[in-house]
Amino acid sequence: QLQLQESGPGLVKPSETLSLTCTVSGGSISSFNYYWGWIRQPPGKGLEWIANIYYSGSTYYNPSLKSRVTISVDTSKNQFSLRLSSVTAADTAVYYCARSLGVVLTFDYWGHGTLLTVSS
Amino acid sequence: QSALTQPPSASGSPGQSVTISCTGTSSDVGGYNYVSWYQQHPGKAPKLMIYEVSKRPSGVPNRFSGSKSGNTASLTVSGLQAEDEADYYCSSYAGSNMGVFGGGTKLTVL
């Protein structure tokens, strides 16, 4: 059974860069036609797609966040990561990593999510 | 890239059917057959319920069905059960390797 697990600092100061990692187990991150993505959900609000990556390194970003986001993959560790720079309180959210069926952003496996709070 | 439009709330009694709409544009919902629906219970990760407009992943009850007409997609839950009470989100491919979610609908089973 495929499992995804997010890890991150939990608390980040404003203007800093947050880094999150998603570890994939029970399957290979290098599987054909599966993409890997990050989605976030501010407290009490809806879902927002952040970025996707293919094991080859091809990246796809939400235009509204693209200037601050970097997604990367480490196939040797079966992990992919997210960096979000210049964070503000508006970036406080539960961050989920998930697997996407193809490039069309259909997320069939999700991690449990990790709460990231931006506060001084 | 604007969020898809969903009603904030929907409700129905056990055994009834309820339909949740998801309205986009010709650049997303209307332009591709890649609409998905997710169910989210409080404190839990979303769960894929419908993909490619009307396909159900293995394990999803056939009480859940999806459809699309023009720029509006719909999720219908038939034979409502107490455990169907949750938030529901639609999403759509929006071209150029991008996607967009709806604002979410809180489904209450009366």
Average pLDDT, integer, range B76-98: 95
Chain A closest-CA separation from residue B17 CA (Å)? 24
CA A51, CA B51: separation in Å to the nearest integer?
A: 19
Using the predicted structure, report yes or no on whether residue B1 has a pLDDT greater than 80: no
- Hey, are the CB atoms on A106 and B52 less than 8 Å from each other? yes
Test A113 with B100 for CB contact under 8 angstroms.
Answer: no
What digits encode the pLDDT tens for the residues B33-86? 999 999 999 999 999 999 999 999 999 999 999 999 999 999 999 999 999 999
CA distance A75 to B106: 38
Q: Which residues pair with A77 in a beta bridge?
A: none
pLDDT at A104 over 80: no
Identity of the residue in B34, B100, B103 whose CB atom sits nearest the CB atom of A49: B100
Interior angle at CA A104, CA A101 and CA A106, nearest 5: 50
Tell which phi-psi region holds residue B43, choosing left (phi > 0), alpha (psi between -120 and 50) or beta: left
Secondary structure in 3-state letters for B30-58: CCCCCEEEEEECCCCCCEEEEECCCECCC
* Long-range Cβ contacts of B58-61 (<8 Å, 24+ apart): none
In terms of CA atoms, which chain A residue is nearest residue B2?
A: A64
What pLDDT, on the 0 to 100 scale, is given for residue B80? 97
Region A93-105 average pLDDT: 91
Closest Cβ opposite residue A107 in set B48, B100, B103 = B48
Closest CA of chain B from A63, distance in Å: 8
